[in-house]
Structure 1
Amino acid sequence: MAKFLIPLLMLIFMQGCSSAPPPHKGNKDIMTIQAQAEQAYRRAMLDQAESLYLEVLNSVPNYAPAWFRLGNIYTRTGRQEAAIAAYQRCLELEPNNQKAWYNMSLVRLKQSTQLLQEASGRGDQKSAVHQQIEALLSELTQLQSATRGS
């Protein structure tokens, strides 16, 4: 949790130095909300964590760790497009965040697998393209199984 508070404090301080309007809540309130969001996230209370992270982002919109957590929440709740958008926002703010790159790639792998599963049931089942779809689907399925085990 401490690794999230230092960047949050820096963002709050920088926001106070800019000409932008002040945050909706006081700095202490934002830090409290961030801590509550983190606690809810760790307890897998994802609806509550999502609401709290969104509240933090309402006051500190460039807080990359909250975008990262939202990406994780959206991934875990099956909202893949929202997860991609949250990870992309995180990466705009922190381009070297390897966890965000990795997590976004896992979501894209899952999307690709779902697309290939849909394609597998369509068209000529004996065509060369169908065989390619099946082979790629098999490889992606194995890859996803390997990433779950690590």
Structure 2
Amino acid sequence: MIKEFYDYFNNKVFFTFEEGLFNKDTKHVLVIPQINNGWLLTRHKERGLEFPGGKVEPGETLEGAAHREVYEETGASLSSLVKIAEYMVMNHAESFVKAVYWAKVEKIEQKPGYMETDGPQIIKGNLEELRFQSEYSFIMKDQVVGECLQYIEKNLK
């Protein structure tokens, strides 16, 4: 089943928990990591608090990109990684498909730099409510994150 809604910028989004429903290669990843009783986010230097993620590099698998992006942006290594959803965003210039993963953090190491972010941010509490605060990125406010948090709560915790 595909759900349709609009994102923060009023782009049409097609979202599903099923795999392979889009006729387009998946070129982006979003990772929702948990650490103990909290969530691992990063503070993007321009957008604010958000889950790690980004583009898949040439020759890289989706899983490889998920591990790399989490490490680059937070210094975290993952002990598990589970694909939970896919979504396609249709904007004026292009469309793209993103895979969403749920992960468990094994450890976090301090690094000299975290790419375009200020490094790891561990958030405790009800992220479903917190994500709408002004310090959070627009990405966190989209329905995609809400759908995935509810799925994780019901199926994976």
Q: Same fold (TM over 0.5)?
A: no
**Which structure: greater strand fraction?**
2
TM-score of the aligned structures, taking structure 2 as reference length: 0.24
Q: Which has the higher helix share?
A: 1
Q: TM-score, normalised by structure 1?
A: 0.25
By relative contact order (CA 8 Å, sep 6+), the higher-ranking structure is 2
Larger-Rg structure: 1
